[in-house]
Structure 1
Amino acid sequence: MAPRKPNAESTDLSRCDYVARPRLGIITGSGPEAGMDMWAKLLQENRRRLGPAFRGDIDAPAVTIVSDPELGLSMELEKTAETVWRALHADILALDGQVAAFSIACNTLNLFAGRIRDLPLHSEFISFRDVLHEYLQRSGVERVCLLGARPVAELGEWSPYSDLREAVEFEPVVQGEPLHQLIYDIKVFGAADPGVRSRFAELLASIESATVLLACTELPLVADIVTDKTLVDVTQLVAEAMLDRCI
């Protein structure tokens, strides 16, 4: 199929009427690539939704990003919870009122959703937990395996998804420590590091569930592999929910 040729009228910006849409916010730092990934997903999904009506730059979503390296302490949240919360709280206040809605590009940090909702904010907080719950209800899937950092995947008190066990059956993650180390390695060495995809593929092969939830913002970076599993990118779901606020 030949590529779609630009429409001269639609791409003449001097003749375009710019319509401002609500600004979105991303808090990142655990890790910073997770925020880049969410931003890329926002841009791609926005382009897909607009289709032939997309005119380029002026139709891209307005996004403000706060990237805080201190949030990287969330990988060991059992030990660093209060330090991380103080940093996250400051980041939220810096963003509040500047955007219509925001999300935190980290599954683990969404554990603080309750505290965030208790804040007198002017901006809407979009939580990973709520978006995933809506997906599970909508999809009708009955059994899943959730992959994420140790605190998240264990579905205990340090996981933002612990209460979702009432909505769906979760297959236990039998390779919790190798998975946690894989996430660390993606953070440190990058998704292009030789071997991370093969390690991820081996881990997926040990899972029985047909549906696997990628509940860590690093895992989608290495999910471009051949597998018979249905991989659900929670970050993608959140990006779609954020764009819903832009309509």
Structure 2
Amino acid sequence: MFGAADYAVEIFEDSSYRMTDYSMDLDSVTLELIDPKENPQMLAKNTLVGKTLIDGNVLFFTPVFNNVNRAILENGYMDLYSGESFFRRLSLQKGEIYSINYFDQKRFRDYAVFNAPRDTIFDKIYNLKQKDLIFIDSVLTSVLTKTVGNNAFYKQLKVYSNSDSTIVDVNMFLKNDKSLKDIYKFYPIISFDAPTYEGAYGKLEINLSRRTSSNVFFDNL
């Protein structure tokens, strides 16, 4: 079973699935929040049972739920997709299911990796490996020595790739913002579609193919 605070996906031995959205809803009359866990009718409406087609570490859902048509299992998480667009990430709660691990999560515990949606320019998917994280971490350690240091940040990496190069956008958020601790691994704080953020953060671009990096940029740090 994969899940987060308000979402859960259960995969059963017969390849069936149950997907449940536990998000609060707003009563249009009373304007009070409704908890699906306390409202059987709403819970039933927000739950779908179907079948999965499993291809390696990719699961395809039939029928789709909330436009979620597939999931990719990697690095201990389940990434849900709506078409080619990343929807949300869930963590493994219990049970065993095949998941590719590209790098040591314990060694890089402050990192979260997200593959960018494919488009006409970056039309490939590249999964960062252990050697890539070692290089990226060395770059960050070097450029952040003049500030508070690499270990002071949560790092979100967005990977863009084509036949010519692989680009990694690194967004850094200070760990003293306690509100980010439980969420930064599950979705991009600075999204792909609307790349803005009101808080303090740092930014760096790394070209993995050429082993080069841009100057680190800080906003309100």
Q: Report the TM range for the smaller structure's normalisation.
A: under 0.3
- Tell me the TM-score normalised to structure 1 length: 0.24
**Greater RCO, 1 or 2 (C-alpha within 8 Å, sep 6+):** 1
Select the structure that is richer in helix: 1
Select the structure that is richer in strand: 2
